[in-house]
A and B are shown apart, each in its own frame.
Chain A
Amino acid sequence: MKNDTCKSQILLVLSCMFFLICAFCIVREADAHKVNIFAYAEEGTVHSESYFVDGSACKNSRIEVFDEKAGTRFLEGKTDEDGKFSFKIPKATSLKLVLHASMGHQNEYTLGEDEVIEAMGDKRNQKQNKEPAKSSSQPAKISVKTQRENLAGNVVASVGRSMSESEMEDVVEIVIDRKLKPVMGILVRLKENSEKPSLTEIIGGIGYIVGLMGLIMYLKSRRSTRNER
């Protein structure tokens, strides 16, 4: 009997030790056995960021880009020192980015078709906007010079007359891009943090183990009492 209490005391001490260790270490730190990849499309280019679960960048890791539906591979590349990798959108479809980090670490991110088409759409719209401008200018026989003057004196023109739709779009886009840049950074960081194990999950996991222990002990004790009968 004395042995049993001694054993349980030691178990208690051991578990306390590990709780202390986790309290000290886990909250700040994590490790590198899970990789994450996050990507977004913008102006015809896909930007991706890869990082380990502790937030450190995956350097020189291979990224493959697939057509999510057809499964064909478009291209592959390597991340830079900051874990970033960018490429031109190869096709207007949903893209699957597969990150291969060293030692069997792998993860993927799928970029939805809508997002890709929208990012490509920016380009197309710009082209469309430019083409009508040219075609309309030719029949009207406005000289190239006046066209340039119009573009150069954008501000003057906009003050003088109401802005055309395409100009407005361009200006709004530039401003929005500038405003959204820090927000994108925050989002990426938020996602990074949400991938880290939280204290709730850690304690929950230990709870599961303790619960499992109780369950197995209960079942075993029932079996042994039944055998005694």
Chain B
Amino acid sequence: MHISEGVLSAPVLVAGALLTVGGTALGLKKMDYDDIPEVAVLSSAFFIASLIHVPIGPSSVHLIINGLVGLLLGWMAFPSILVALALQALLFQFGGFTTLGVNTFNMAAPAIIVYYLLNLPVRKGNHLLTVISGFAAGALGVGVGALLVALTLVSTGESFFNVAKLTVVVHLPVMVVEGIITAFCVTFLKRVKPEMLEVRR
């Protein structure tokens, strides 16, 4: 779901960049000294997750783990994802530097949504609720991301319904896989280190 260079028009690119700058500033402000290693580890994880492809379904797509990043980092997901995407653009030529803002927003905004909706049930719920919320977090991160990408591509003249159908259908297997991964991660973290799930507001 990395939008390449030269696809989007300037206003969309600028809007995406501005939103990302705002989100990143907010994330950096909330980031405390003790959070930095966690942000860095999740940034590395996000950086690598894009290389793990899910060979199920009509097209080969990759893991994103923005749901997990959002659940653990909240607003700090913005700087974390920005760094990972910048390095992916630099080293793998995934996406591009002009589209960095749009791509970061498309992946980090779902992370924030996931954080606000599901961080509390994951932390406070019983085992079953934690598993379900974890799964929902993983699936929602990818699903909302796919919708945002479709919405961005509407500006290129494609019809939202067609693009959205394609991006969501293609990412259905990823949603399932990420749901499972995220559910596994949060149950593990909750048992071993529940403080990691707490995010400073």
Residues of A within 8 A of B (CB): 3-4, 6-8, 10-11, 14-15, 18, 21-22, 25-26, 29-35, 52-54, 56, 102-108, 195, 197, 201-202, 204-206, 208-210, 212-213, 216-217, 220-221, 224
Could you say which residues of chain A place their CB within 8 Å of the CB of B6?
A: 106, 108
Contact yes or no, B93 A34, CB < 8 A: yes
Contact yes or no, A32 B40, CB < 8 A: no
Contact yes or no, B163 A103, CB < 8 A: yes
Query: What is the bound-complex CA distance between A6 and B34, given in angstroms?
Result: 13
6 nearest A-B residue pairs (beta carbon): A31-B53, A213-B40, A31-B62, A104-B3, A106-B4, A201-B91
Query: Closest CB of chain A to B11's CB: distance in Å?
Result: 16
Could you say which residues of chain A place their CB within 8 Å of the CB of B109?
A: none
Chain A, residue nearest B28 (CB) = A216
Could you say which residues of chain A place their CB within 8 Å of the CB of B84?
A: 209
With most chain A CB atoms within 10 A of its CB, the pick from B39, B41, B149, B156 is B41
Contact yes or no, B2 A34, CB < 8 A: yes
Query: What is the bound-complex CA distance between A52 and B60, given in angstroms?
Result: 9
Contact yes or no, B41 A54, CB < 8 A: no
Query: What is the bound-complex CA distance between A52 and B93, given in angstroms?
Result: 12
Contact yes or no, B88 A7, CB < 8 A: no
Given A3-B195, A104-B149, check contact A206 B62 (CB 8 Å): no
19 more contacts with CB within 8 A, not counting A32-B62, A104-B152, are: A7-B193, A10-B196, A11-B41, A22-B48, A30-B53, A31-B51, A32-B53, A34-B2, A34-B94, A102-B59, A103-B153, A103-B163, A104-B7, A104-B153, A108-B6, A206-B48, A208-B87, A209-B43, A213-B40
Report if B1 contacts A (CB, 8 A): yes
Given A220-B33, A224-B33, check contact A18 B53 (CB 8 Å): no
Report if B52 contacts A (CB, 8 A): yes
19 contacts between A and B (CB under 8 A): A10-B189, A11-B41, A15-B41, A21-B52, A22-B48, A26-B51, A29-B52, A32-B53, A32-B59, A33-B95, A103-B170, A104-B7, A104-B8, A106-B4, A197-B91, A205-B88, A209-B84, A217-B33, A217-B36
Contact yes or no, A31 B36, CB < 8 A: no
Query: What is the bound-complex CA distance between A137 and B22, given in angstroms?
Result: 80
Contact yes or no, B1 A33, CB < 8 A: yes
Query: What is the bound-complex CA distance between A220 and B7, given in angstroms?
Result: 39
Query: What is the bound-complex CA distance between A205 and B2, given in angstroms?
Result: 17
Query: What is the bound-complex CA distance between A35 and B60, given in angstroms?
Result: 12
Query: Closest CB of chain B to A16's CB: distance in Å?
Result: 11
Chain B, residue nearest A25 (CB) = B52
Contact yes or no, B149 A29, CB < 8 A: no
Task: Identify which of residues 37-66 in chain B touch chain A, using a CB-to-CB cut-off of 8 Å.
Answer: 37-41, 43-45, 47-48, 50-53, 55, 59-62
Could you say which residues of chain A place their CB within 8 Å of the CB of B55?
A: 29
Query: Closest CB of chain A to B35's CB: distance in Å?
Result: 10
Contact yes or no, B37 A216, CB < 8 A: no
Query: Closest CB of chain B to A207's CB: distance in Å?
Result: 10
Chain B, residue nearest A217 (CB) = B36
Contact yes or no, A206 B33, CB < 8 A: no
Chain A, residue nearest B51 (CB) = A26
Contact yes or no, A32 B4, CB < 8 A: no
Contact yes or no, A31 B50, CB < 8 A: yes
Task: Identify which of residues 128-181 in chain B touch chain A, using a CB-to-CB cut-off of 8 Å.
Answer: 149, 152-153, 156, 163, 166-167, 170
Query: What is the bound-complex CA distance between A4 and B35, given in angstroms?
Result: 11
Could you say which residues of chain B place their CB within 8 Å of the CB of A108?
A: 6
Contact yes or no, A31 B52, CB < 8 A: yes
Query: Closest CB of chain B to A204's CB: distance in Å?
Result: 6
Contact yes or no, A33 B50, CB < 8 A: yes
Query: What is the bound-complex CA distance between A224 and B188, given in angstroms?
Result: 33
Query: Closest CB of chain B to A32's CB: distance in Å?
Result: 4
Query: Closest CB of chain A to B107's CB: distance in Å?
Result: 12
